[in-house]
Amino acid sequence: MPHRLLFTAGVLTALSLPAFAAAPPAPDPDSWSAVLERAAGQTVYWNAWGGDSRVNRYIDWVAEQMQARFDVDVEHVKLEDTGSAVARVLAEKQAGNEADGSIDALWLNGENFAAMRESDLLFGPFAESLPHFALTRPANNPEVVTDFTLPTDGFESPWGKAQITFYHDSEAPGFSAGRTPPGSMNELLAWARDNPGRFTYPRIPDFTGSTFLKQALIELTGRDEALYQPVAQSDFDSVTAPLWDYLDALHPHLWRQGQSFPASGPRLRTLMSDGELSLAFSFYPTDAAVAVKEYQLPPSVRSYVLDGGTLGNVHFIAIPYNSPHKAGAMALANFLLSPEAQARKQSLDVWGDRTVLDVARLSEDDRALFDAPSDNPALPPAGAFDNTLAEPHPSWTGALQDAWLKRYGVN
């Protein structure tokens, strides 16, 4: 009798679910002309973070170009949290929606990529078949095929680089006497004690704030090898104890005494613009330089990286397994890797996001697209990114966020 009841309940549940069409054959990424032919006329729903006006205006330009060049409409679905899009794809899979998903392209990396791969939520492999992918020279640049220690295996396509970059106002309190900005986490703590309220970081689980936690942990723990393995394989409490001791000491000297945190990296920049902070950081290396150019920050702002290097990664475009417009999504991913699109994205007039292309190996004409010398004083110094620290295993991000919220969860 119990088995019969379970079977009947299963039938009723199945009958209550909407009926979905069978999945059509996926486009063959290796037949690029066929991909473009199928892409024409499609609307690609690109789910991407929408919390920065610079990012949004670049995506608007991309949408214009995709329509004009490939007859592909791109709709930017602005996200506050990429995890919500991952949850939507998972819910669609659980509901049996195999071919008519609501997301065609997704800006993601790290723990979200790991979660989608684990649940078989991604279409691929496709990235290596994109005509412009070869311009990244993956054999010489393994970061374009590795995401938080995990091989991408062609299930996501790179389109930009990020790295923690600090910036300070050389004429603001804490620096007006010519004091050198802090070059390490311990120096940052000492500076914050001397200049209370003039520094902070974004509230967790914001990705910029979460990256600050990982940056601090890498520098402070004596067991950083554990960070590049799944968190379950380590003694989390022991490895992270130096981080919590550090934050316990730092928080009383932060903006609003660490009782409240700004919501995001852009909000951190606004606090600098309003003169409330003297020191801040961004995950976009040219963030401060663009803000100076747009008169959002004073010309006395300068950018730098910590003496031991800073955390960096590549961000990617992926295609959900049940996207109904995979051809259009592949056309989008390929265009984002074109020298024209990459150069425009890197321009301080647009976004300032670093290219994933191997510019030195491009043709002379394509290299010229990136020749944009600037005397902007807020640009990071030459060679600033020679020492890029690798992202820990993706499982560490969620574990750190959960632990931070448990200890410091505030408004």
| Separation CA 325–CA 216 (nearest Å) | 41
Please give the helix or strand (H or E) that residue 49 lies within, else none.
strand 43-49
Task: Report pLDDT digits (tens) over 89-138.
Answer: 999 999 999 999 999 999 998 999 999 999 999 999 999 999 999 999 99
Domain boundaries, the chain: 25-160+315-368, 165-313+385-408
Nearest-CA neighbor of 105 among 344, 284, 314, 321?
321
Question: In the CATH hierarchy, which top-level class contains the domain 25-160+315-368?
Answer: alpha beta
Task: Report pLDDT digits (tens) over 284-340.
Answer: 899 999 999 999 999 999 999 999 999 999 999 999 999 999 999 999 999 999 999
Question: In the CATH hierarchy, which top-level class contains the domain 165-313+385-408?
Answer: alpha beta
Residue 161: beta bridge partners? 314, 354
How much of the chain is helix, strand and coil, in % rounded to 5? 45, 15, 40
Tell me if 246 sits within 8 A of 220, measured CB to CB.
yes
Average pLDDT, the chain: 91
Q: Does 25-160+315-368 match 165-313+385-408 in CATH topology? A: yes
As given in the structure block, the two tokens for residue 99 are 């071919």
Q: Is the pLDDT of residue 13 over 60?
A: no
pLDDT band at residue 11 under the 50/70/90 scheme:
very low
Task: Report pLDDT digits (tens) over 247-262.
Answer: 999 999 999 999 999 9
Nearest-CA neighbor of 74 among 315, 333, 316, 314?
333
C-alpha torsion sign, points 51, 53, 58, 62: positive
Task: Report pLDDT digits (tens) over 220-241.
Answer: 998 788 999 999 999 999 999 9
The more confidently predicted of residues 117 and 18 is 117
Task: Report pLDDT digits (tens) over 342-381.
Answer: 999 999 989 989 999 999 999 999 999 998 767 889 999 8
pLDDT score, position 187: 98
Of how many residues is the chain composed?
A: 411
Nearest 5°: the CA angle 121, 330, 42 is: 100
Q: Is the pLDDT of residue 14 over 60?
A: no
